[in-house]
């Protein structure tokens, strides 16, 4: 309601309100003997006040002018084609268009839900889009599955009206879809979105649904889908147990926090075990490949990735008090430096650029180089490296140890990041300090 409309309405209500007030005043006067002697208000005073208000309202009405209509400027759409497909209920065209532009899906996503809302039947449109592109060529299959998830996520946001016929179409599609899931998280992710949108949880066995939830546990949508599937506390606790005992520790952390289970599971213990496991995995990578430079680089990369993920979780969950974050960051820096040194050493040892043979003083005959002419393969002392009795290179940088416990390995590795001094279940020893046979207590004793 505009300001002039509000003023006009107030003017119309003056007489009605004055009559009601006059009746109340007369009732009050009937009990005047009970009132204080200082009460000397007369009806003429009240009537005069109303007349004054009426005059002011009318004055405002005469002076008030209607404001010019607001100019609304819509942000131009990056993908107007989306709205065209949706308004025309061309689901197959929409699906094909999105699969063809799957590499731009991040810019498509913000406009997708609003475009789908413009269709006469959002649920039917999305089913048409998926069914029209489901049996696409193998080369674009992965892109299609990502687009299906995008479409179904947008449909969840739209909250479509579902008819029996639409749910039956979705059930048929889901039954075909599950046959292709196998161990592929991308297929399970799309399937679970379809089940959520079209309310098909009761159609399938809960054990099967939980297997698919476990399969997508590393996906960012896993906890959100679990909530929309209606999984209760007991079921999710079982999922967390399985994640912990199969080594998917960071995925377990997400479930623990999203379902508020920190009183039942200890996140700090889980993160420390994740650090330990990453260290052990790095050792195995080196051992299986004979501690080659390539294996050491791969092991360093894995350990770096694990450290960064743990640091990210620590910051997101405000667990800095439980860890020495500076030591973790320092370990990341040391691993990065180690990676750079081993890469440089590999280049120095590479036979790709052998030394050129010098020409003879006279003539064009080439002479074989003598031993003294061979360029030294020893590392530059400035790099902090030295050759050990076995002919390998060891690090002389302070606080740098041999990699992953192998005394004959060519290059040094950084010590494990320091954990907070307060013991939880770790032994006081170097590295991550957990004996291989020790089973960490994730649960409060």
Residue, of 19 and 73, whose pLDDT is higher: 19
Q: Is 80 exceeded by the pLDDT of residue 165? A: yes
Rounded to the nearest 5°, which phi and psi values hold at 419?
-100, 155
What's the whole-number average pLDDT of the chain? 76
Tokens of 184: 């592929």
Q: What's the helix, strand, coil split of the chain in %, to 5? A: 60, 5, 35
- Say how far residue 13 (Cα) sits from the centre of its chain: 57
Residue, of 445 and 102, whose pLDDT is higher: 102
Query: What does the pLDDT average to over 136-164?
Result: 89
> Own/partner pairs for 50-56, CB < 8 Å, 24+ apart?
50/14, 50/17, 50/18, 50/21, 53/14, 54/11, 54/14
Q: Which of 252, 280, 268, 257 is nearest to 324 (CA)?
A: 268
Q: Which of 123, 46, 109, 38 is nearest to 79 (CA)?
A: 109
Q: Which of 302-306, 384-388, 394-398 has the highest mean pLDDT?
A: 302-306
pLDDT tens-digit series, residues 359-383: 554 444 444 444 444 343 333 444 4
Say what the alpha-carbon torsion angle 94, 100, 104, 109 is, to the nearest 10 degrees. 20
**For the chain, what percent of residues have pLDDT higher than 90?**
43
The pTM score is: 0.62
The pLDDT of residue 33 is: 61
Q: For residue 96, what are the contacts with CB-CB under 8 A and spacing of at least 6? A: 132, 133
Residue, of 406 and 37, whose pLDDT is higher: 37
Alpha-carbon distance of 130 to 230, in angstroms, equals: 25
Residue, of 172 and 390, whose pLDDT is higher: 172
User: Within 10 Å of residue 11's Cβ, how many Cβ atoms?
Assistant: 14
In the block, tokens 């009732």 appear at: 27
Rounded to the nearest 5°, which phi and psi values hold at 366?
-95, 135
Tokens of 400: 């740098």
**In the chain, where are the structural domains located?**
266-346
The pLDDT of residue 290 is: 85
Q: Which of 136-150, 174-188, 314-328, 344-358 has the highest mean pLDDT?
A: 174-188
In the block, tokens 């759409």 appear at: 77
The pLDDT of residue 345 is: 77
Helix axes 164-178, 122-133, angle to 10 degrees: 30
Q: 3-class SS at 157?
A: helix
pLDDT band per the 50, 70, 90 thresholds, residue 203? very high
Query: What does the pLDDT average to over 182-203?
Result: 96
Q: Find the range with the poorest average confidence among 76-80, 253-257, 404-408.
A: 404-408
Q: Which of 291, 274, 151 is nearest to 218 (CA)?
A: 274
The pLDDT of residue 311 is: 92
**What is 202-240 written as a DSSP string?**
GGS-HHHHHHHHHHTTTSTTHHHHHHHTT--HHHHHHHH
Q: Find the range with the poorest average confidence among 61-70, 209-218, 401-410, 435-444.
A: 401-410
Which residues face 323 on adjacent strands?
419
pLDDT tens-digit series, residues 224-247: 999 999 999 999 999 999 999 999
DSSP alpha helix (H) spans, 118-140: 122-133
User: By the 8 A CB rule, do 187 and 181 touch?
Assistant: yes
User: By the 8 A CB rule, do 95 and 146 touch?
Assistant: no
Q: Is 70 exceeded by the pLDDT of residue 320? A: yes
pLDDT tens-digit series, residues 26-59: 777 776 665 555 556 666 667 666 666 666 666 6
User: Within 10 Å of residue 14's Cβ, how many Cβ atoms?
Assistant: 15
**For the chain, what percent of residues have pLDDT higher than 70?**
65
The pLDDT of residue 428 is: 28
User: Within 10 Å of residue 154's Cβ, how many Cβ atoms?
Assistant: 23
Q: Is 70 exceeded by the pLDDT of residue 82? A: yes
């Amino acid at each position: 309601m505009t300001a002039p409309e509000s003023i006009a309405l107030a003017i119309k209500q003056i007489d009605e309100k004055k009559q009601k007030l006059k009746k109340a005043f007369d009732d009050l006067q009937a009990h005047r003997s009970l009132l204080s002697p200082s009460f000397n208000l007369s009806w003429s005073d009240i009537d005069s006040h109303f007349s004054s208000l009426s005059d002011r309202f009318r004055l405002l009405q005469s002076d008030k002018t209607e404001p010019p209509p607001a100019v609304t400027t819509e942000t131009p759409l990056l993908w107007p084609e989306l709205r065209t497909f949706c308004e025309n209920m061309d689901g197959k065209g929409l699906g094909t268009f999105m699969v063809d532009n799957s590499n731009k899906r991040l810019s498509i996503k913000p406009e997708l839900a609003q475009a789908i809302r413009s269709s006469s039947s959002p649920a039917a449109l999305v089913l048409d889009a998926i069914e029209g592109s489901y049996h696409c060529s193998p080369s674009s299959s992965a892109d299609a599955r990502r687009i299906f998830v995008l479409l179904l996520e947008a449909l969840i946001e739209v909250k479509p009206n579902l008819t029996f016929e639409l749910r039956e179409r979705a059930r048929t599609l889901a039954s075909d879809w599950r046959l292709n899931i196998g161990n592929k998280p991308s297929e399970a992710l799309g399937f679970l979105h379809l089940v959520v949108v079209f309310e098909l949880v009761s159609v399938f066995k809960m054990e099967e649904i939980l297997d698919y939830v476990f399969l997508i546990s590393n996906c960012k949508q896993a906890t959100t889908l679990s909530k929309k599937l209606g999984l209760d506390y007991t079921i999710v606790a079982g999922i967390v147990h399985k994640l912990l005992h199969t080594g998917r520790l960071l995925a377990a952390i997400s479930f623990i926090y999203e379902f508020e289970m920190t009183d039942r599971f200890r996140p700090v213990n889980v993160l420390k075990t994740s650090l330990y496991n990453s260290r052990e995995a790095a050792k195995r990578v080196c051992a299986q490949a004979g501690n080659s430079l390539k294996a050491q680089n791969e092991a360093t990369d894995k350990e770096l990735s694990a450290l960064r993920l743990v640091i990210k979780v620590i910051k997101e969950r405000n667990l800095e008090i439980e860890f020495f974050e500076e030591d973790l960051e320092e370990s990341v820096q040391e691993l990065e430096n180690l990676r750079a040194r081993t890469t440089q050493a590999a280049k120095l040892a590479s036979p790709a650029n052998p030394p050129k043979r010098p020409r003879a003083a006279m003539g064009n005959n080439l002479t074989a180089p003598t031993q003294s002419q061979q360029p030294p393969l020893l590392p530059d002392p400035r790099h902090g490296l030295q050759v050990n009795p076995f002919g390998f290179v060891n690090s002389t940088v302070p606080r740098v140890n041999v990699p992953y416990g192998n005394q004959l390995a060519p290059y040094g590795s950084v010590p494990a990041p320091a954990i907070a001094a307060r013991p939880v279940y770790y032994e006081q020893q170097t590295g991550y300090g957990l004996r291989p046979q020790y089973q960490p207590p994730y649960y409060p004793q």
